[in-house]
Amino acid sequence: MSNVKILVVDDEPDILKLLEMTLNKMGLTVYTAPTLGAAKSVLEKNTFHFCLTDMKLPDGNGIELVEHVHKNFPKTPIAVITAYGTIHHAVEALKKGAFDFISKPISLQVLRNLVANGIKEFESPTNENSIPKGKTKLAGSSEYIQSINKSIAKLAKSQSTVYIEGPNCTSKKFIAQCIHNLSRRNDKEFISFDCIEDQNDSPEMSEYERLIAVLTEANGSTLFMENIGFLKISTQTSLAKILHDKSFTDEDNEKVNLDVRFIVTCNHNIDEAEKIDKFNSELMERMTVIKLFTRPLADHKDDIPGLSKAILTEYAEKWQQLPCKIDSQALHTLCSYNFPGNILELKSILERAANVCENDIIRETDLGFDDNQQPKLLSQRHNKNLEEYINEIEIQEITNALKLTNNNKTAAAKVLGISFRALRYRIKKLGL
């Protein structure tokens, strides 16, 4: 690896020497600079696989260097060194484009892992002609969808934690999966952890034990944490410490270096929860580095044709058949409906229609709408809150899948695109 070049920027000679010696032992060629100006000069003369800078420099700060590298040398990952207790500086650097950060006092093992990951990112094909695995973008052509897809592509190149906020059933998990599929971590399995479901599914384990188990499983990959607000404050505090230390103790009492890309959602307003001491403030800072906002389907109805085509194609692939087409009147009816259950409701209606239509063409009558263009098989929302209404949609979706698979829960879970464990939990939760 002697041809791999690393730039380290720090104005303290002792720290600079320690970092240089540590990285030299990894077989790396290390360049050093004591100031922001010197770093910029060195960057102009060499191509670096990775850059590491202290936050505080005599003639500027690390964030200025992050911005400079991000703008002029976008392929080179850069990480910052922060003083203990200054997480807000790290968060700011990540928002400006930093690859990651490391806190003082510096753990040499954490440093080695950080640099190794940075080099992988530099050498990753994602920086050039990536070979993505699985779905990598949302279907649709609206300005909103284009914006989300641009964010997915950009965030796939980062290590920053992403917080996805928006109404239920607006493709938050799918967005997280797309980010993973485009990232250098896509050779590992995408791990999903619902803080509500897993709480009920493994009653024999404590919440902290479940957290450690999922961190162990997700190490080296992407972890999508749904409903993180349901974690107890004590568990949130433990997770914040794990993120700070970049390590945890596993079930065998062995220390494990943390290498997880987090993408999270919360079941309620995370900012309000933090204000009333329902959410750990340090964890909130670490988990909301980058925010991505999703919108209800009613706000981007222009995407319904594209989404419908994608849903029917996916459904056909599962059952190894030709995808159904939608006639113009049926499509007009779909585009006129507001979908309070968002994409989950659209998916439910289309999959049901695909099962009853003739000659693989979905007509208006196949949608199951009444004369007022409302789904017949769903009770009307009236005064129900959104959660109750979505529960009804879930009940119908699960019931349809079970009927379609002759009550085979494993097959039904595949139809629904969820794990068997998640289906079992939902069946119990919804009283089916």
Task: State pLDDT tens for residues 186-197.
Answer: 889 999 998 876
155 or 132, greater pLDDT: 155
- Integer CA distances (angstroms), 285 to 44, 81, 89, 236, in order: 34, 17, 10, 12
Whether 255 shows a pLDDT value over 70: the answer reads yes
Nearest to 19 by CA among 143, 111, 110, 104: 111
pLDDT value of residue 132: 59
CA trace torsion 44, 50, 55, 61 (10° rounding): 20
Residues 284 and 326 both lie in one domain: no
Which region among 19-28, 117-126, 378-387 has the lowest average model confidence (pLDDT)?
378-387
393 vs 346: which has the higher pLDDT: 346
Q: Are residues 269 and 307 in the same domain?
A: no
Could you give the CA distance from residue 9 to residue 104 in angstroms, rounded to a whole number? 15
What pLDDT score does 101 carry? Answer: 86
The residue type of 168 is: N
Mean of pLDDT values over 102-129 = 78
- Categorize the per-residue pLDDT at 374 as very low, low, confident or very high, splitting at 50, 70 and 90: low
CATH of the domain at 42: 3.40.50.2300
Q: Is 60 inside any structural domain? A: yes
In a 13 Å sphere around the CA of 104, the CA atoms on its Cβ side amount to: 14
Residue 133: inside a domain: no
Same-domain pairing of 201 and 109: no
Question: Whole-number mean pLDDT of the chain?
Answer: 85
Give residue 104's pLDDT.
84
Asked if pLDDT for residue 402 goes beyond 70, the answer is yes
- Residue 124 Rama label (left phi>0; alpha psi -120 to 50; beta): beta
Residue 312: pLDDT over 80 = yes
Residue 76 CA to residue 367 CA, distance in Å, equals 51
Cα 238 to Cα 240: distance, rounded to the nearest angstrom: 5
Angle between helix axes 13-24 and 108-123 (nearest 10 degrees) is: 60
Q: 199: pLDDT confidence band, cut at 50, 70 and 90? A: low
Does the pLDDT of residue 84 top 70, yes or no? no
Q: Find the mean pLDDT for residues 378-396.
A: 65
129 located within any domain: no
* Distance set, CA 193 to CA 173, 178, 246, 262, 332 (Å): 11, 16, 19, 11, 38
In the predicted structure, residue 34 carries a pLDDT above the cut 90: yes
Write out the two tokens for 241. Answer: 């410490």
Cβ contact 290:250 at 8 Å = no
Whether 77 has a pLDDT exceeding 80, the answer reads yes
Pair 303, 288 in one domain: no
- What pLDDT is attached to residue 128? 44
pLDDT of residue 117 exceeding 70, the answer is yes
The closest of 130, 191, 123, 119 to 156, measured between CA atoms, is 130
DSSP 8-class letter at 37: H
Number of folded domains that form the chain = 3
Which SS3 state, helix, strand or coil, does residue 283 take? Answer: helix
Q: Is residue 203 part of a domain?
A: yes
Asked whether residue 170 is assigned to any structural domain, the reply reads yes
* More confident: 300 or 423: 300
What pLDDT is recorded for position 2? Answer: 60
Tell me the C-alpha to C-alpha distance, in Å, between residue 338 and each of 125, 301, 323, 352, 367: 41, 8, 24, 18, 14
Q: Over pLDDT 90: what percentage of the chain?
A: 44
User: Residues 265-287: pLDDT tens digits?
Assistant: 986 666 665 555 678 888 888 88
pLDDT of residue 130: 47
- Clarify whether residues 156 and 267 are in a common domain: yes
Q: Has residue 292 got a pLDDT over 80?
A: yes
In a domain, 93, yes or no: yes
User: Which pair of structure tokens corresponds to residue 45?
Assistant: 């003369």
| Host domain of residue 189 | 143-293
At 8 the pLDDT is: 96
| Structure confidence at residue 82 (pLDDT) | 85
**Rounded mean pLDDT of 142-150?**
95
Q: Indicate whether 23 belongs to any domain.
A: yes
CA distance 352 to 102: 51
Specify whether the CB–CB gap between 179 and 337 falls below 8 A: no
Q: Tell which wins on pLDDT, 376 or 158.
A: 158
Q: Is the pLDDT of residue 67 over 70?
A: yes
53, 10 in Cβ contact below 8 A?
Answer: yes
Among 265, 293, 321, which residue terminates a domain?
A: 293
| Surface-to-core class of residue 347, CB atoms within 10 Å of its CB (0-12 exposed, 13-18 middle, 19+ buried) | buried
Question: What mean pLDDT do residues 223-243 have?
Answer: 91
Residue from 181, 93, 183, 78 nearest 134 by CA: 181
Are both 163 and 273 inside the same structural domain? yes
Q: Which of 183, 242, 182, 187 is nearest to 212 (CA)?
A: 242
**pLDDT of 65:** 95
CATH number of the domain within which 306 lies: 1.10.8.60
Q: Using an 8 Å Cβ cutoff, are 26 and 115 in contact?
A: yes
pTM to 2 decimal places = 0.74
Virtual torsion, Cα 14, 20, 25, 29, nearest 10 deg: -160
Do 251 and 302 have their domain in common? Answer: no
Q: Regarding predicted confidence, which is higher, 390 or 189?
A: 189
Q: Provide mean pLDDT across the span 93-100.
A: 84
Confidence of residue 385 (pLDDT cuts 50, 70, 90): low
pLDDT score recorded for residue 225: 94
Detail the DSSP E strand segments found in 208-268: 222-226, 247-249, 255-257, 261-264
Q: At residue 67, what is the residue type? A: E
Same domain, 94 and 186: no
Residues 210 and 351 in one domain: no
DSSP tally for the chain: helices H, then strands E: 18, 16
Q: 93, 123, 153: which is the final residue of a domain?
A: 123
